């Protein structure tokens, strides 16, 4: 049930922020500070989420496991300008391979 609450809240919230952009008159949110903050907020969130999902273990513990190898592979693929799907596939394949080898 609590998952459905999260799903509903996210759905409503994310839809409203999308709609807001189309409805408010231009200029209201055009202040430089607001623009800068809105551009930097996803950077902070994505960076934190990447790190947490790469190193997060049970009960908030920090662990280093095969995911780190997978994420390194993804990073390498990004540096080589690989397409989106290849980046994800590289992470998954390398993580699985390291686990299979007992990593």
Partner 1 sequence: MAEDVAEQTASAPGPEPTGTSAGPGPEASGEAANDSGSGTGAGVAGGTVARTAPEAGPSGEPRDDPRGEPKPDSAVVRDALGVGIAVGLSGFAFGVTSAGAGLTLLQSCALSLLVFTGASQFALVGALAAGGNPLTAAAGAFFLGVRNTFYGLRLSQLLALPRFIRPFAAQWVIDETAAVALAQPTRRGARLGFTVTGLTLYVLWNLTTLLGALGAEAIGDTDAWGLDAAGPAVFLALLAPMLRTTTERAVAAVAVVLGLGFLPLLPAGVPVLVAALAAPAVLWFEGRGTTDRKGTDR
- 67, 50 in Cβ contact below 8 A? no
22, 64, 101, 102: which one contacts partner 1 (CB under 8 A)?
A: 22
Does 13 help bind partner 1 (rule: CB under 8 A)?
yes
Q: How far apart are the first and last CA of the chain?
A: 36
In angstroms, give the least distance from the CB of 31 to partner 1: 9
| Residues 6 or more apart in contact with residue 29 via CB below 8 angstroms | 21, 35, 38
C-alpha–C-alpha distance, residues 55 and 52, integer Å = 5
Does 23 help bind partner 1 (rule: CB under 8 A)?
yes
Q: Which 29-68 residues touch partner 1, going by CB under 8 A?
A: 29-30, 32-33, 35-56, 59-62, 66-67
In angstroms, give the least distance from the CB of 103 to partner 1: 11
Residue indicated by tokens 């592979």: 73
Does 102 help bind partner 1 (rule: CB under 8 A)?
no
């Amino acid at each position: 049930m609590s998952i459905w609450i999260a799903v509903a809240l996210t759905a409503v919230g994310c839809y409203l922020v999308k709609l807001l952009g189309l409805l408010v008159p231009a200029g209201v949110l055009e202040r430089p500070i607001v623009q800068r903050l809105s551009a930097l907020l996803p950077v902070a969130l994505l960076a934190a989420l990447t790190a947490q999902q790469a190193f997060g273990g049970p009960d908030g513990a920090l662990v280093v496991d095969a995911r780190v190898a997978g994420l390194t592979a993804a990073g390498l693929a990004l540096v080589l300008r690989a397409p989106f799907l290849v980046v994800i596939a590289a992470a998954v394949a390398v993580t699985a391979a390291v686990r299979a080898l007992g990593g």
